[in-house]
Chain A
Amino acid sequence: MSTAEDRIHSLEIPLVENALLVPSAAVAEVANPTELFPMPGAPRWMLGVVGWRSLAVSVISFEALMGGAPSFVTAASKVVIFYPFPGRARTDFYGVLSAAEPRPQHVSSGSVDEEDPARLPDTLLIAAGVRVRDRTLLIPDFDVLRRTLYPQEPAAGAR
């Protein structure tokens, strides 16, 4: 039986073909995608920017980050807004486009099985996969994600 200590409050973020599993503590808010403003010069995985709490928040397609086709906003979409990475400016929130309403997951070592790495997308952005009720949830590698989003930032040891 899992204890409160080893239970992690997580959020399942549905993507078009799979789903991410992230700590709820990393998420500031789940928002409805309002108007998405395209940003000149942006990489293909950056879908645009939304206005949120007087800030401009970049919205990314995790599918495109992993090398697939960029996702797009549908009636079911949500924007999962993440807190800035540690050490970044307090305005550096970023959003991930979710294909549907994210679902809370209470994950503990006893409630999930590790997914066979051979069945995971071939990308450094995914640190691991877990099976929850016969579904595979992908756990992002936030260090790799940070380096992808902010490639001009000094390496971790130099920060």
Chain B
Amino acid sequence: MAESNQYLCVVLGGVEYLLPGAASLAIEQRHALIPDDGGGPLVAWRQSRQGRWPVYGLDGMLRPARPETWQRAVFLDGAPTPVGLAAEEVRLLGRTDLNVTPFTPLGPPPTRAGHYFDGAWVDGQKVVFVFAARGLAAALRAGGAGGRT
């Protein structure tokens, strides 16, 4: 589990995103999870005392996907159970290493829970979006529900 003074750098489909450390309930390695071979974006499960937590795959544009090379799952709080994101790579970054500024996406939010992002880190000309945990959890659940949010 990441700490509140850290960000997780999560790689999806070759694209880097940041997630505030406080938003992650747990990080698990792929081999510690129960694979799901159903063929959709549901790629694995985590068995916990509270029940089974699903792990979904997204591509670099946050569309439901079934990634081949994911290494870890990052779990977010959510109802009815926490939900996991299958990531190709997860790195911990200290807040002092980054200059994250607020970012308000334009237009209607893509999920009922809001926008996917609420911040951004601009490193030179490069922009890395920072996930809004509720929006990301909604994107994952929408993928699992076949696109409904």
**Measuring CB to CB, which residues of chain A are less than 8 angstroms from any residue of chain B?**
34-35, 37-43, 45-46, 49-52, 54-56, 58, 60, 88-89, 91-92, 94, 148-152
A34→B127 CA distance, assembly (Å): 11
Known A-B contacts A35-B125, A51-B124, A51-B127; A43 and B103 likewise in contact (beta carbons under 8 Å)? no
Contact of A55 among B101, B110, B123 (CB under 8 A): B101
Contact of B109 among A46, A50, A148, A152 (CB under 8 A): A152
Whether, in the assembled complex, B107 has its beta carbon less than 8 Å from a beta carbon of chain A, the answer is yes
Known A-B contacts A35-B125, A35-B126, A50-B127; A41 and B106 likewise in contact (beta carbons under 8 Å)? no
B127: chain A residues within 8 A (beta carbon): 37, 49-51, 56
Asked whether A91 lies within 8 Å of B106 as measured between CB atoms, the reply is no
Chain A contact surface mostly? loop
Residues of chain B from 104 to 121 with CB closer than 8 A to chain A in the complex: 104-111, 115-117, 120
Residues of chain B from 88 to 108 with CB closer than 8 A to chain A in the complex: 99, 101-108
B63: chain A residues within 8 A (beta carbon): 40
Query: Measured between C-beta atoms, what is the minimum distance from B66 to chain A in Å?
Result: 17
Whether, in the assembled complex, B62 has its beta carbon less than 8 Å from a beta carbon of chain A, the answer is yes
Given pairs A49-B127, A58-B106, A152-B108, 13 additional interface contacts (CB within 8 A): A38-B61, A40-B60, A40-B116, A43-B107, A49-B103, A51-B125, A51-B126, A56-B127, A58-B105, A88-B104, A89-B104, A91-B101, A148-B107
Asked whether A39 lies within 8 Å of B117 as measured between CB atoms, the reply is yes
